[in-house]
Amino acid sequence: MIEIGAELSSKDEALDKLIELQKDAGAVRNTVLLSREIRSREMLGSSAVSMRAAISSVRHSGAKKTSVSALTVKDGISYDSPDKRKVRLMFMISGKDGTDEDTDVKARIMHLLMDSEFTARLCAAKSKDEFLDIIDEREKIRYPAFKPDKKYDCSRLIQNEDKRSSKKLFFFRRNKSKN
């Protein structure tokens, strides 16, 4: 659910593209409802977060599971950003109703985007694989996997790995048929 270097001219086009990416991946059932919910959310205030990025997020009754689509915009688009700059990097989170996974994912994305070098590298990615590699690299640094101390018998801990180490931020799976 990633598109690199999209040539878009408006916020509405970008939102439509992010919704289309989720639809094409089979992550949502009702794109009309998702479009209405996302646009209603945007009417409350821009989802632009400065750093040339925006994160649209809703809990959606038609979401099969919490999912994220992402795109980079070649020349950027006006998005009512707090820093008045054009947005070049966009994420859309469709949270599954009845969970709070969307909140966790959004917080984690925000945390990662606070690093301007990381954000710039994502904007400059030339392929989906490069985009994912940049995310994987940063996650390994920011959220290292749990590693038990070898001095002690940790077989119980190894079997029940820390939940953080098994959770991928973007739910972007390296599935060649759906990236």
Class assignment of domain 2-166? alpha beta
Facing residues of 145 across strands?
none
Task: Using the CB atoms, write b or e for 157-167: b if 16+ within 10 Å.
Answer: eeeeeeeeeee
71-112 residue pLDDT tens: 999 999 988 878 888 999 999 998 877 777 888 888 888 888
| Residue that is written with structure tokens 């809703």 in the block | 58
Q: What is the pLDDT of residue 165?
A: 41
Q: What is the pLDDT of residue 166?
A: 43
Report CA-CA distances (Å) from 49 to 7, 19, 101, 110, 141. Answer: 21, 19, 20, 8, 22
Domain ranges of the chain: 2-166
User: What stretches in the chain show pLDDT beneath 50?
Assistant: 148-171, 173-179
| Residue that is written with structure tokens 């606070």 in the block | 114
Q: What is the pLDDT of residue 147?
A: 53
Q: What is the pLDDT of residue 157?
A: 38
Q: What is the pLDDT of residue 145?
A: 67
Instruction: Please say whether the beta carbons of 43 and 11 come within 8 A.
Output: no
Q: What is the pLDDT of residue 30?
A: 84
H or E segment to which residue 3 belongs: strand 2-6
